[in-house]
């Protein structure tokens, strides 16, 4: 696979052999299902059918040696509060496996697509594009920034930064499950441009040829409270949404207040929330095109 610096619309037509690390997770399982329709995809995680622990460098090398064009790395500690409580665990999962993984990927000529986060930014700016300076304010963001550095030091791989991701996932119910609770707390003072999960695979396919950093995000900027309320309303869930903010909630982790991801590298964007919710509730299918 060639690596060029430009955005290439034709990429979607190629069939790649793809390895997804973290394929049992919220994002990884959706990518496996969707990319699997057009590419040859192997999904691995600690608990899935193909098992690998990222901490086991030899096992990672053995898996990666099965010759892939693209390795999409989605695995690790993603819970911000858990990372804040146990920084050693977060570094062990998110940073330490990177060197062995990168060595293995480079040995085979594959390309690494590393999924990172808007939490590498501090939330003090109106928006962040790929030229913005990172300044993480929590442990999770610092581990992701450290992993990004290792990926970017190798020159031809790709870091894709995501905002909050929402929607249905075949492997994890973590976004929708909360709507079964009688009450849901949601912050009014935390704002982002959330990305509808079913749109991500199509976007990634079009970014595979890029290297360096690429941001992806949704078309609309809104608070967690607004997003939660709109999803609740469309699902018809009985949950009461309790508005909270920094003054009413003891924070389990420092959280950036405003994280809006924009791109200067490509024109792709996820759907607005109403289109996403049409898709989620089966009113109209959003194809990503
Ligand atoms: N969800 C979001 O809103 C969001 C927002 C921004 C960025 N991201 C990024 O997107 C990626 C995926 O997030 P997610 O929400 O899908 O996370 P998730 O649901 O927690 O899934 C994480 C995956 O990592 C695997 N994993 C964890 N430790 C592992 C290890 N030592 N070895 C092998 N596999 C391991 C887990 O599987 P096992 O437990 O089976 O090992 C699981 O498949 C992450 O890189 C995250 O930083 C997510």
Determine the pLDDT at residue 286.
Answer: 54
Indicate whether 4 belongs to any domain: no
Indicate whether 148 belongs to any domain: yes
- Among protein residues, the one whose CA lies closest to atom 27 of ligand 1: 76
Q: Which residues pair with residue 20 across a beta bridge?
A: 43, 72
- pLDDT at 76 > cutoff 80: yes
Average pLDDT of span 63-68: 95
Determine the pLDDT at residue 4.
Answer: 34
Average pLDDT of span 161-170: 97
Determine the pLDDT at residue 154.
Answer: 95
Determine the pLDDT at residue 2.
Answer: 36
Q: Report the pocket of ligand 1 as residue ranges, CB < 6 Å.
A: 22, 24-28, 45-48, 52-55, 74-76, 78, 93, 115, 117, 144, 162, 164-165, 172
Sheet containing strand 258-259, strands side by side? 222-223, 191-192, 258-259
Residue 240 dihedral angles phi and psi, to the nearest 5°: -90, 130
Indicate whether 285 belongs to any domain: no
Indicate whether 117 belongs to any domain: yes
* Whole-Å CA distances, 210 to 17, 71, 124, 139: 17, 14, 28, 28
Catalytic residue set = 140
Indicate whether 248 belongs to any domain: yes
Indicate whether 159 belongs to any domain: yes
Q: CATH number, domain at 49?
A: 3.40.50.720
Could you report the per-residue pLDDT of 222-274, keeping only the tens digit for each? 999 999 999 999 999 999 999 999 998 788 999 999 999 999 999 999 999 99
Determine the pLDDT at residue 284.
Answer: 64
- pLDDT at 6 > cutoff 80: no
Residue numbers of the domain that contains 52: 9-280
Pick from 76, 96, 228, 276 the residue to mutate for probing ligand 1's pocket: most ligand atoms within 8 Å of its CB.
76
Determine the pLDDT at residue 282.
Answer: 87
- Ligand 1 atom nearest to 118, measured from its CA: 6
Residue 246 dihedral angles phi and psi, to the nearest 5°: -60, -25
Phi-psi region of 155 (alpha: psi -120 to 50; beta: other; left: phi over 0): left
Instruction: Count up the domains in the chain and report the number.
Output: 1
Indicate whether 1 belongs to any domain: no
Indicate whether 3 belongs to any domain: no
Could you give the 3-state DSSP secondary structure of residue 275?
helix
CA of 260 to the centre of ligand 1 (A): 21
Determine the pLDDT at residue 270.
Answer: 97
């Amino acid at each position: 696979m060639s690596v060029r610096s430009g955005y290439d619309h034709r990429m979607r037509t190629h069939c790649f052999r793809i390895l997804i690390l973290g394929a049992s997770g919220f994002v990884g399982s959706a990518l496996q299902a969707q990319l699997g329709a057009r590419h040859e995809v192997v999904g691995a995680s600690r608990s899935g059918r193909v098992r690998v622990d990222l901490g086991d460098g030899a096992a990672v090398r053995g898996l990666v040696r099965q010759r892939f064009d693209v390795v999409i790395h989605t695995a690790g500690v993603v819970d911000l509060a858990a990372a804040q409580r146990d920084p050693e665990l977060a570094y062990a999962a998110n940073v330490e496996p990177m060197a062995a993984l990168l060595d293995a990927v480079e040995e085979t000529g594959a390309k690494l697509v590393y999924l990172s986060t808007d939490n590498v930014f501090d939330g003090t700016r109106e928006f962040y594009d790929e030229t913005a300076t990172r300044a993480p304010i929590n442990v999770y963001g610092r581990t992701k920034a450290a992993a990004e550095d290792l990926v970017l030091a190798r020159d031809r791989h790709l870091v894709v930064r995501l905002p909050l991701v929402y929607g249905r996932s075949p492997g994890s119910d973590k976004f929708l499950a909360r709507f079964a609770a009688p009450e849901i707390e949601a912050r009014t003072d935390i704002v982002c441009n959330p990305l509808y999960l079913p749109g991500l695979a199509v976007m990634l396919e079009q970014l595979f040829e890029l290297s360096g950093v690429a941001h992806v995000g949704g078309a609309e900027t809104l608070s967690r409270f607004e997003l939660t309320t709109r999803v609740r309303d469309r699902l018809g869930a009985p949950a009461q949404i309790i508005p909270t903010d920094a003054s009413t909630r003891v924070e389990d982790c420092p959280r950036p207040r405003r994280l809006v991801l924009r791109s200067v590298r490509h024109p792709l964007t996820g759907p607005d929330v109403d289109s996403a919710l049409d898709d989620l509730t089966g009113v109209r299918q959003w194809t990503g095109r």
